[in-house]
Amino acid sequence: MAATGATNFADGARFLKPRLKQFSAAMTLRPKTALFVVDSQRNPFSQSVTMNNGVSATHEDKHHRKINGEAVIAETEEEENEEVQKSWRDYFELAKLFVGSGNGGCDSIPRWFSPLESGFKRKMKNSPVLLYLPGLDGLGVGLVLQQQKLGKLFDVWCLHIPVKDRTPFQDLVRLVEETVKSENRRSPDKPIYLVGESIGACLVLAVAARNPNIDLVLILANPATSYGKSQLQSLAPLLEVIPSELSLISIPYALSLMTGEPLNLVSTTIVKGFQQKSTLELFQGFSQLSAYASVLADILPRDTLLWKLQMLKSAGSFANSRLHAVKAQILILASGRDPLLPNLEEAERIRGALPKQEIHVLKNSGKMPKCEIRKFKDSGHFLFLEDDIDLVTIIKGTSFYRRAKSHDYISDYLLPTEKEFIRTSESFRWLNIATGPAMLSTLENGQIVRGLAGIPIDGPVVFVGYHMLLGLEIYPLVINFWSERKIVMRGLAHPMLFAKLQDDDMDMSMFDSYRIMGAVPVTASNFYKLLASGSHVLLYPGGMREALHRKGEEYQLFWPERSEFVRMAARFGAKIIPFGVVGEDDICELILDHEDQMKIPYLRDTIEKRTTQIQLRTDMEGEVANQVAYFPGLLPKVPGRFYYLFGKPIDTAGMEQELRDREKAHELYLHVKSEVERHIAYLKEKREQDPYRSLAARTLYQAMHGPTAEVPTFPL
């Protein structure tokens, strides 16, 4: 919560007695840094929070300044530049801190707290609230690896349920519900994010079902709605017969034996990053894990665990019976190696049980689908505690971040971080190696040069070009523009990349990197907003018809007879850069095109079902209106090379009045088209002179000059 509204959190606990008490705690992992503030009847930011050195500090002690018109807190330079690397060890250290007071977690009733390392970071303007609801442990510290990055985008608050607390599930629902209502009254135009793990996900679903008219975004991590299929059911009878004097030893052992957790925390980390870890580091990891295993007995003593298992049963039943009433936007994160819950199947079941939503891609291109699923097949139960899971990146990749009632692909877009860019480029490293992209640009004097020196840094700029088969040219293009010039290419993409079609088994996660790197649905309003924001826009007039062409149609343009992009560009004085690209015929051969597939009954039915949900360019005539959605059958070749040529920028500044004339605009449109065709012809001719066109020649060159050496191309 923002400082002005933090007192509202007390409203959510009025039915709980006694009143919430303020407490503070220090964390030994980061000297001179407070850990969190706890909600109370009074503004928590005006309360003292104990620092590690024993000195008390208040919100007013911090230095204020304005950023984007908002008051924020200036941290020290060291804190501002530092992003502390966290691991599962930090979770256990915090767990010891929370249960180490001798009272099962400082006192015996649930309360909200905000991690100061997230709460006092610079946030985006109008940041929405994010409420985290923990899993079986109840501590509320499960976001310890995520909260630094989350704190830059959200006002993060976590629910802490003390070890000895016995608040029934339905009372917890009312607590969260009152908090949600209170925050909605304070900021009715902003969404409220509810992030729930395991039993916390059941809590999230229950609150959403009871409040269908509040704008909620739900993120469910391994929801315990599948408790009826869980091995945990057999744990309760075992706990009941364990003598109390043996429970401190047997409970951690039983949990580890049945679930593989917390062993999976370190084992999955080791498996995923084995090459980066030394034998000593691995040994230390297992040694520390064995020391932390006893913490489980403090977090979940026998009586508490029995209570939680009973609550799991009622929580799952309560949430499942109300799925039909959930109208919120939902993102389900499902682990594939969770020995507690069958998450992959459960995610699909939940999506199927939600109210049906008819999707028409064109009409809803500015809206997000009701339910998205992301699967992590190599992850365990504690998803947010794994090193390579980044919740912010997941939210960005699914376009789930918004600060108003609807998502705005321009104002809500967040630039990729260096880590996100590296991860994206690494995932397509094979394509970059296989195609060895040679990029050429044209200077103002008309000279063609190697590299992107001819590309204007300042926008707006519109790149208009040819769409190769399956759009294979996009990734090398986008990655090289970012790595060489730090230019984000905002591609106007087909809405199929943003909305899952009905009864379609396409894995939407394959498009997450497109969204992270700036793709937006192709609409006139999005194009307008991108130009208004001074962006570098990637536009393909040929669209899907060009990218899914048939045999013998390579390098053929399928453009509309007329286009409005010239007039729109002139309105903002944008530079138009025509470009050509060749090389698809160097890496694959089209062997099964649309005509071939329509002769196969199963494929024909799939194509027709998918195409009927795509309503693009229905007002046009000719081949460009033939937006058939199919996936061509390809035969890979020994890779050749991709070649790009970006033409001389066409400056429309000062031409707005002139290009209001449709005929003048059409002349410029035809000129751009002819330039694209000319660039394609130039590249097809010149590549014959490239001694490094083949993969073998490029590999040999880099073996002699180093793997990062730029491979030459044909003479210019």
Q: pLDDT band for 309, please (50, 70, 90 cuts).
A: confident
More confident residue, 43 or 455: 455
pLDDT given at position 624: 63
553 burial level (CB within 10 Å; 0-12, 13-18, 19+): middle
Count how many residues are written for the chain: 716
Look at residues 173, 184, 255, 172 and name the one whose alpha carbon lies nearest to residue 206.
173
Q: pLDDT band for 412, please (50, 70, 90 cuts).
A: very high
pLDDT given at position 556: 94
Q: pLDDT band for 35, please (50, 70, 90 cuts).
A: low
DSSP-derived 3-state class of residue 98: helix
Cβ burial 483-509 (10 Å sphere, 16+ → b, else e): eebebbbbbbbbbbbbbbbeeeeeebe
1 burial level (CB within 10 Å; 0-12, 13-18, 19+): buried
- Provide the β-strand partners of residue 49: 57
pLDDT at 239 > cutoff 70: no
Strands 448-450 and 438-442: antiparallel
Q: pLDDT band for 33, please (50, 70, 90 cuts).
A: very low
**3-state secondary structure labels for all residues of 121-149:** CCCCCCCCEEEEECCCCCCCCCCCCCHHH
pLDDT given at position 84: 66
Q: pLDDT band for 541, please (50, 70, 90 cuts).
A: very high
pLDDT at 157 > cutoff 50: yes
Which residues, at least 6 apart from 440, have a Cβ–Cβ distance to it below 8 Å?
A: 448, 449, 450, 451, 643, 644, 645, 646, 716
pLDDT given at position 499: 74
More confident residue, 108 or 205: 205
Rounded to whole angstroms, the Cα distance separating 637 from 654 reads 48
pLDDT at 53 > cutoff 70: no
CATH architecture of the domain with range 59-397: 3-Layer(aba) Sandwich (3.40)
Dihedral of alpha carbons 376, 379, 381, 383, sign: negative
Q: What is the mean pLDDT of the chain?
A: 79
Region of 171 on the Ramachandran plot (φ > 0 left; ψ -120 to 50 alpha; else beta): alpha
- Top-tier CATH class for 418-705: alpha beta
pLDDT in tens, 655-705: 988 888 999 999 999 999 999 999 999 999 999 999 999 999 999 999 999
pLDDT given at position 509: 82
Q: pLDDT band for 103, please (50, 70, 90 cuts).
A: very low
All CATH 3.40.1130 domain ranges of the chain, comma separated, are 418-705
Centroid of chain to Cα 255:
32
More confident residue, 594 or 357: 594
Which residues, at least 6 apart from 156, have a Cβ–Cβ distance to it below 8 Å?
A: 114, 115, 118, 119, 130, 132, 143, 147, 150
Contact present, 115 and 147 (Cβ < 8 Å): yes
pLDDT at 177 > cutoff 50: yes
Tokens for 66?
């304005």
Q: Where are the beta strands (DSSP E) in 511-602?
A: 520-521, 536-539, 575-582, 588-592
Which residues, at least 6 apart from 575, have a Cβ–Cβ distance to it below 8 Å?
A: 456, 460, 461, 462, 649, 650, 651, 652
DSSP-derived 3-state class of residue 372: strand
Please state, in angstroms and as integers, the Cα–Cα distance from residue 352 to each residue in 80, 227, 331, 344, 399, following that order.
Answer: 44, 18, 14, 13, 21
Rounded to whole angstroms, the Cα distance separating 220 from 384 reads 11
Helix (H) or strand (E) segment spanning residue 253: helix 247-259
Side chain identity, residue 27: M
pLDDT at 86 > cutoff 90: no
pLDDT given at position 82: 52
DSSP-derived 3-state class of residue 237: helix
pLDDT given at position 596: 87
**One-character DSSP codes across 10-79:** GGGGTTSSS-------B-TTSTT-B-EEE--SS-GGGS-EE-TTS-EE-GGGSEEEEETTEEEEEPPHHH
Considering the chain, what percentage of its residues have pLDDT values greater than 90?
47
Look at residues 213, 178, 199, 507 and name the one whose alpha carbon lies nearest to residue 341.
199
Phi then psi dihedrals of residue 604, to 5 deg: -60, -45
**How many other β-carbons are positioned within 10 Å of the β-carbon of residue 608?**
13
Contact present, 217 and 155 (Cβ < 8 Å): no
pLDDT in tens, 455-508: 999 989 999 999 999 999 999 999 999 999 999 999 999 887 887 666 666 678
Mean pLDDT value across residues 252-268: 47
More confident residue, 585 or 306: 585
In 140-246, alpha helices (H)? 147-150, 169-186, 199-210, 235-241
Mean pLDDT value across residues 72-100: 63
pLDDT given at position 223: 94
Please state, in angstroms and as integers, the Cα–Cα distance from residue 695 to each residue in 77, 425, 521, 707, following that order.
Answer: 47, 19, 35, 13
Which of 101-105, 127-131, 459-463, 680-684 is the least confident region? 101-105
Helix axes 199-210, 302-320, angle to 10 degrees: 40
Rounded to whole angstroms, the Cα distance separating 414 from 398 reads 12
More confident residue, 633 or 299: 633
- Starting at the edge strand found earlier in the chain, the sheet holding 111-115 runs 36-38, 111-115, 155-160, 129-133, 192-197, 216-221, 329-335, 371-376
Q: What is the CA radius of gyration of the chain?
A: 28
Contact present, 114 and 23 (Cβ < 8 Å): no
Which of 60-64, 360-364, 373-377, 428-432 is the least confident region? 60-64
Strands 63-67 and 70-74: antiparallel
pLDDT given at position 282: 42
pLDDT given at position 123: 67
More confident residue, 78 or 336: 336
Half-sphere exposure of 666 (CA within 13 A, CB side): 6
pLDDT given at position 539: 96
pLDDT at 361 > cutoff 90: no
Which residues, at least 6 apart from 160, have a Cβ–Cβ distance to it below 8 Å?
A: 38, 98, 105, 110, 111, 112, 113, 134, 138, 139, 140
Look at residues 555, 558, 556, 554 and name the one whose alpha carbon lies nearest to residue 545.
558
Side chain identity, residue 370: K
DSSP-derived 3-state class of residue 158: strand
pLDDT given at position 75: 36
pLDDT at 270 > cutoff 50: no
Q: pLDDT band for 16, please (50, 70, 90 cuts).
A: very low
Considering the chain, what percentage of its residues have pLDDT values greater than 70?
72
Phi then psi dihedrals of residue 550, to 5 deg: -100, 180
Q: Give whichever of 224-238, 352-366, 577-591 has the largest mean pLDDT.
A: 577-591
More confident residue, 413 or 230: 413
All CATH 3.40.50.1820 domain ranges of the chain, comma separated, are 59-397
Q: pLDDT band for 38, please (50, 70, 90 cuts).
A: low
Half-sphere exposure of 67 (CA within 13 A, CB side): 13
**How many other β-carbons are positioned within 10 Å of the β-carbon of residue 445?**
7
Look at residues 376, 472, 488 and name the one whose alpha carbon lies nearest to residue 421.
488
Mean pLDDT value across residues 546-551: 90
Cα dihedral 246, 252, 255, 256 in deg (nearest 10): -130
pLDDT at 37 > cutoff 80: no
**Peptide bond just before 639 cis, omega within 30 deg:** no
pLDDT given at position 32: 35
Mean pLDDT value across residues 560-581: 93
pLDDT given at position 104: 45
Which of 118-127, 491-500, 527-536, 584-593 is the least confident region? 118-127
